[in-house]
Structure 1
Amino acid sequence: MLYERPTDDSLYQALLDRDPAFDGRIFVAVRSTGIFCRLTCPARKPKRENCSFHESVSTCLQEGFRPCKRCHPLSAGGDPDPLIDQLLTALQADTSRLWREGDIARLGLDPSTVRRTFKRRFGMTFLEMARISRLRDSFQALSDGDRVIDAQQAAGFESASAFRQAFARLIGLKPSDFKADAMLKADWIDTPLGAMIAVSDASHLHLLEFVGRKALPTELRALFKATKGSLGFGSTAPTERIAQELEAYFSGKAAHFSTPLAYHGTPFTRAVWDALRQIPAGDTRTYGALAASLGKPDAVRAVARANGANQIAIVVPCHRILGADGSLTGYGGGLWRKQKLIELEQGYRSA
């Protein structure tokens, strides 16, 4: 399951040397810019701590990085599917464009075929990919205190109503639903596995989810309702703390999270989440083993439901649960992320 390749330090040296040996096979994603490149890119070299390395264009796109306009990584290695290549190139040419199925049809492509192809390849449709790309900058603008109209323009929307609708589809709430003096604050955190949204109050983290997860809008609406609308944009001390701990986690420095958590669930659900946190990084369990550890060996289905209801990803490590046969099972953030998290944590096994 683990993919053997040169170390990241070796790949970073290859980036500095613009070594063509990895051209089309390895790509560098730069957290500080949100851009991914070929290792032969002529652009100014990023700092080592801002770089992560990936084996495919699709992984970079899934993690929320945009293709570089200098080295054109979408063409590197010759994408074998011309349909995907055509649409990704069009998206790169105009990231602010509001795509609809009619636009795809006018390119001579079948929307249903495009939908299936992108879903199979990237875990999201082309329209979802384009929407997330457009809304990323708007969320950050709102988090920085900008006006809604500024965020709308940052996302490339000419229509205020279209912006509100697109934002609500991704987040579950309209920009106007968020309040400046709210108890809970929502902020955007970039990680090597894609963007996440963190929601915290002054003392606890309430939610940490990957952008694009289907349950995210529902979870945010539930928090909004529970706080009677006291949800806003911005960062708090727990958000800043979890961002630092995630950076240490993904860099291989530490798999321990000490940010205080606020659970939203029944006593049984909370007990399951606590049990998940007792699984050491690098280890996995089955639903049956987790149920047995709680003294409820017949509650496998209830444990599975509680596992799926987790809304604090990575910190409450529901990704460490496998099927009874050892296979990957459903993961709200996508099975490709679950695989990456399990592989990453192999490095913590002996730590």
Structure 2
Amino acid sequence: MLITETKQIQEYYQALIERKENFVGIFFVGVKTTSIFCIATCRARKPKLQNVEFYTTFKEALDNGYRPCKICKPTENANETPEEIETAIQLVKENPKEKITDFQLREREISPEKLRRWFKKNYGMTFQAYQRMYRINNAFIELKKGKNTTHTAFDTGYESLSGFGYTYKKLIGKSPQKSINNTIILIHRFTTPLGPMFVCATDNGICLLEFVDREMLETEFKDLQRLLKANIIIGENEHIQHVKTELTEYFEGTRTQFNIKLETPGTDFQNQVWKALQTIDYGMTTSYQNQAQKINNPKAVRAVAKANGCNRIAIIIPCHRVIGKNGNLTGYSGGIERKRWLLEHEQKHVSQL
């Protein structure tokens, strides 16, 4: 939302002048004279009040034609996981069978209240729910390896089999005894230069990669669970770790192709379109019409466009490389300015190869 209230504009401008850290992520300031947007703590020379406007999200700044500042990197730093949150997450990972208490958090100078607020805002759940998902994922892995249900329950920190069984079935969808051959979808949040993304994966590969502010994301989650007959829970596997590494290299300009296993549930036609998308060379663009011709169905332009819109794996299945027949940028689930940034990023680096 564009901030229009005079008092709030004055407050935000003063925070920008004083580089107040507690305003990081609260507002994004667009500088009209440079078309750059920043966060409150940016070290760059401060613009005049009449030359700025304030937005509540970085996506709104992007959508209004502003580019991320190279000094303060607003899309990364405003959404980067705070150090104390990272410490708490690491604590869960290092102790996957234990319940981390508020007392343990305070011992490490971590505010349980701040932790709860951050998880509610960024994951839509509490820290305790995040922990439960992580512990149940760990239990699921051990059960698949043949470990006894009773031992798994008590080793995972549960005081009763009934409590373990209830939570397990609620998250996985079936009881421990009946879920050995089940599929589960793991979800992980990470930060990129264009903002935070969610990545989902099964044992077969990456099945979703989307910006967290993507429209209809909740619908995508529901569709994915229905198509794969699986529940989504917090966790990481080798595919998620792999994709984070390759995306980092992509954003650094050192990777032009991805070598990642994908799982793309959909119709035969959708998968045909998505495979055709992956043949578009890095740094190049094509039109929906050309894409329809490539799959030997030149009259299916609208159907191709619709299939592109159903793509759940951004960047790797590069629907951002498809533009209008007249050369104009067309719809993109992550926002037109993100699409522009991705194309400019690729064209810049392809010329350096």
TM-score range, shorter chain: 0.5 to 0.7
Report the Cα offset of residue 177 of structure 1. 9.4
1:236-258 per-residue CA deviation (whole Å, 9 max, x = no partner) reads 11111111111111111121101
* Code of the aligned partner of 1:314: I
CA contact (8 A) 2:130 2:234 kept: no
2:92 to 138, 145, 149: 145
Task: Give the 3-state SS of the residue equivalent to 1:84 in structure 2.
Answer: strand
Letter in 2 for 1:275: A
Please state how far the C-alpha of 1:216 moved relative to its aligned partner: 1.8
Change (3 A) 1:324 1:227: closer
Q: Evaluate the alpha carbon distance shift between residue 302 and residue 187 of structure 1 in structure 2; reply closer, same or farther with a 3 A threshold.
A: same
Distance in 1 (CA, whole Å) between partners of 2:132 and 2:112 is 15
Equivalent residue for 1:78? 48
Distance 1:116 1:227, change over 3 A: closer
Aligned-partner SS, 2:92: coil
After the TM superposition, list the runs of 4 or more consecutive aligned residues in structure 1 that deviate by more than 6 angstroms: 115-119, 132-135, 146-152
Unaligned runs of 5+ in 2: 1-15, 17-23, 26-33, 68-73, 94-99, 106-110, 138-171, 173-183
Which residue of structure 2 lines up, in the alignment, with residue 154 of structure 1? 114
SS at match of 1:232: strand
For residue 270 of structure 1, what is the aligned residue in structure 2?
Answer: 271
| Partner SS for 1:145 | helix
- Alignment partners' CA distance in 2, 1:345 and 1:134: 24
CA spacing shift, 1:84–1:269, aligned 2, 3 Å: same
Q: 1:193 to 1:291 in 2, by over 3 A?
A: same
TM superposition shift of 1:81: 5.8
Residues 215 and 349 (structure 1 numbering): CA distance in 2 closer, same or farther, change over 3 Å?
farther
Q: Compute the displacement of 1:221 (Å).
A: 2.5
Residue in 2 that maps onto 1:282: 283
Aligned in 2, Cα 1:232/1:334: closer, same or farther, shift over 3 Å?
A: same
- Which structure 2 residues correspond to residues 159-198 of structure 1 after superposition, within 5 A? 167-168=123-124, 178=133, 180-181=136-137, 183-198=184-199
Equivalent residue runs for 1:179-328 within 5 Å: 180-181=136-137, 183-227=184-228, 230-328=231-329
Task: Within 5 Å, give how 1:81-96 maps onto structure 2.
Answer: 84=54
- Provide the C-alpha distance between the structure 2 equivalents of 1:152 and 1:120, rounded to a whole number of angstroms: 37
The amino acid across from 1:145 in the alignment is V
| Contact 2:288–2:301 under 8 Å retained in 1 | yes
User: CA 1:116 to 1:81, structure 2 compared with 1: closer, same or farther past 3 Å?
Assistant: farther
For residues 152 and 244 of structure 1, the distance between their equivalents in structure 2, rounded to whole angstroms, comes to 31
Question: Structure 1 residues 194, 289: CA separation in 2 closer, same or farther (over 3 Å shift)?
Answer: same
Residue number in structure 1 paired with 2:344: 343
Q: CA deviation at 1:223?
A: 2.6
Q: Which amino acid aligns with 1:78?
A: K
Q: Take 1:224 and 1:269, find their aligned partners in 2: how far apart are those partners?
A: 18
| Distance in 2 of aligned mates of 1:348 and 1:79 | 39
SS class of match (1:224): helix
Residue 57 to residue 177, structure 1, CA distance change in 2 (3 Å): farther
TM-score, reference length from structure 1: 0.59
Q: Determine helix, strand or coil for the equivalent of 1:205.
A: strand
Amino acid at match of 2:213: G
Structure 1 residue 298 displacement after superposition: 0.1
**Contact 1:84–1:118 (CA under 8 A) maintained in structure 2:** no
Task: State the alpha-carbon separation in 2 of the partners of residues 246 and 166 from structure 1.
Answer: 20
Matched position secondary structure for 2:236: coil
Aligned partners of 1:240, 1:317: CA distance in 2, in Å?
20
Cα 1:336–1:271 shift into 2, 3 Å: same
Question: How far does residue 309 in structure 1 lie from its aligned partner after superposition?
Answer: 0.7
1:154 deviates by 3.3
Contact 1:205 1:262 in 2 (8 A): yes
Mapped partners of 1:276, 1:264: distance in 2: 16
